[in-house]
């Protein structure tokens, strides 16, 4: 199979998807290129950005929108796609539609904006995103087949994150320096801050670059304010691994408040399509409510069964990661033995 020069450059750069899945961008592009003969192929830029504490794509659209447009246009040309779309959550659509439309017109590329119907979590999953664009219920599809062969309207489709297209533009122009964007929020960062730094930095190094000195006064949630993993101040000498976000909490933070916030989030955000997630997030939240508000002891065996079911049988990542923050908080911050063996699955390798 012929490999275009840009895909070779992307492969040489080692670029992985900046939507935190770490999948090779070059392989994904090549899969769309090699897909069955079709009259239509599509390129979709995912700017759903619905993980709490993650706002790097907003920063990119504020400062480098022309590079995002350029990256999408390059993908359309390289993959011989019919059309490109920028899938924006409602807030970003309102903020950036005018400027993006001007840049799209200037580029001459066949790109359209698409406003995400609501600012939900599951709507950022690539197949749920495609269902949304087709006017269907916003829920994940069974995979395989994958969007690279059966995507938008059943046609081969490339879905990449906003930052991925930004990076592609830099790679094409010879300006890529193996950097990525990091978000830091929480104590001392009430409005949140974004910096573009080396992708190889460890969590402690990123925090230092933002001017924060880790100590026992804080604990940290890495990867976002919902699915992110919690660590104490001695556990930060680990790779950030393209997870984009660190949130700083005071160690005095109420256990009930943070745990119930995470449990509420996933119960409310579950699309309800699959039983493990629909029932599991509800029952998990119910058990925690009784524990914290009615002082009932957690049935460890039942809790473990629910978590196992969520992590191993949920249809999409929402259910699989719904207990990550809670388990890692208990294990790493409070040093409790509640399901410690399950908490191991929450670690960044």
CATH number at residue 304: 1.20.1440.230
- Tell me, yes or no, whether 197 and 328 share the same domain: no
Q: In the prediction, which pLDDT does 346 show?
A: 40
CA-nearest of 30, 43, 108 to 76 is 43
Rounded CA Rg of the chain: 21
Q: In the prediction, which pLDDT does 349 show?
A: 27
- Rounded CA separation 272/262 (Å): 17
- Tell me, yes or no, whether 91 and 110 share the same domain: yes
Q: In the prediction, which pLDDT does 1 show?
A: 60
Residue range 213-265, pLDDT digits in tens:
999 999 999 999 999 999 999 999 999 887 889 999 999 999 999 999 999 99
- Tell me, yes or no, whether 22 and 166 share the same domain: yes
How many structural domains comprise the chain?
3
- Tell me, yes or no, whether 240 and 268 share the same domain: no
CA-nearest of 56, 69, 63, 64 to 181 is 56
Residue range 150-159, pLDDT digits in tens:
999 999 999 9
Q: Phi, psi (5° rounding) for residue 46?
A: -90, 110
Percentage with pLDDT > 70 across the chain? 96
Average pLDDT, the chain: 93
CB 229 within 8 A of CB 347: yes
* Both structure tokens of 70: 């350029």
Q: What CATH number should be reported for the domain holding residue 84? A: 3.40.50.11540
Please measure the distance between the N-terminal and C-terminal CA atoms of the chain and give it in whole angstroms. Answer: 34
Give the pLDDT mean for 295-310: 92
**Domain end among 127, 146, 173:** 173
* Both structure tokens of 310: 């969520």
Q: Phi, psi (5° rounding) for residue 219?
A: -130, 165
- Tell me, yes or no, whether 231 and 284 share the same domain: no
Residue 340 has pLDDT above 80, yes or no: no
Residue range 168-200, pLDDT digits in tens:
999 999 999 999 999 999 999 988 999 999 999
Residue 309 has pLDDT above 50, yes or no: yes
Q: Where in the sequence is the domain holding 201, given as residue range(s)?
A: 179-250
**Domain end among 250, 279, 306:** 250
More confident residue, 226 or 337: 226
- Tell me, yes or no, whether 51 and 147 share the same domain: yes
pLDDT band at 317 (very low <50, low <70, confident <90, very high): confident
Residue range 115-155, pLDDT digits in tens:
998 888 888 999 999 999 999 999 999 999 999 999 999 99
- Rounded CA separation 122/125 (Å): 6
- Tell me, yes or no, whether 226 and 245 share the same domain: yes
CB 316 within 8 A of CB 128: yes
Q: In the prediction, which pLDDT does 177 show?
A: 97
- Tell me, yes or no, whether 103 and 83 share the same domain: yes
**Domain end among 157, 173, 189:** 173
- Tell me, yes or no, whether 42 and 106 share the same domain: yes
Q: Phi, psi (5° rounding) for residue 328?
A: -70, -30
CB 156 within 8 A of CB 38: yes
- Tell me, yes or no, whether 187 and 216 share the same domain: yes
Least confident of 53-57, 106-110, 268-272: 268-272
- How many other CB atoms sit within 10 Å of the CB of residue 211? 10
């Amino acid at each position: 199979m012929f490999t275009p020069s840009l895909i070779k450059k992307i492969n040489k750069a080692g670029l992985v998807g900046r939507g935190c899945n770490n999948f090779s961008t070059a392989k994904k592009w090549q899969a769309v290129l090699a897909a069955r003969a079709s009259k239509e192929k599509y390129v979709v830029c995912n700017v759903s950005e619905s993980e709490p504490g993650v706002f790097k794509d907003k920063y990119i659209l504020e400062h480098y929108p022309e590079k995002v447009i350029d990256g999408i246009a390059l993908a359309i040309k390289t993959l011989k796609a019919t059309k490109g779309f920028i899938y924006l959550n409602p807030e970003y659509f309102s903020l950036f539609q005018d400027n993006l439309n001007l840049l799209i017109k200037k580029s001459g590329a066949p790109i359209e904006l698409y406003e995400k119907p609501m600012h939900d979590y599951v709507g950022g999953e690539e197949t749920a995103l495609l269902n949304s664009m087709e006017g269907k219920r916003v829920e994940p599809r069974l995979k395989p087949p994958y969007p690279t062969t059966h995507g938008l309207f059943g046609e081969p489709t490339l879905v990449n994150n906003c930052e991925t297209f930004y990076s592609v533009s830099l790679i094409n122009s010879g300006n890529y320096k193996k950097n990525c964007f990091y978000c830091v929020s929480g104590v001392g960062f009430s409005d949140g801050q974004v910096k573009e730094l080396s992708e190889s930095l460890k969590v402690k190094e990123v925090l230092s670059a933002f001017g924060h000195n880790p100590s026992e006064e804080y604990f940290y949630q890495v990867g976002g304010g919902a699915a992110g993993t919690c660590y104490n101040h001695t556990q930060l000498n680990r790779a950030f691994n393209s997870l984009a976000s660190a949130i700083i909490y005071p160690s005095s933070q109420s256990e009930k408040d943070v745990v119930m916030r995470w449990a509420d989030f996933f119960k409310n955000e579950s699309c309800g399509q699959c039983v493990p997630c629909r029932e599991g997030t509800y029952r998990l939240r119910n058990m925690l409510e009784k524990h914290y508000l009615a002082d009932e002891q957690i049935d460890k065996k039942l809790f473990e069964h629910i978590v196992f079911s969520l992590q191993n049988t949920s249809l999409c990542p929402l259910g699989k990661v719904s207990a990550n923050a809670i388990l890692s908080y208990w294990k790493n911050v409070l040093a409790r033995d509640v399901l410690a063996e399950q908490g191991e699955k929450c670690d960044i390798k």
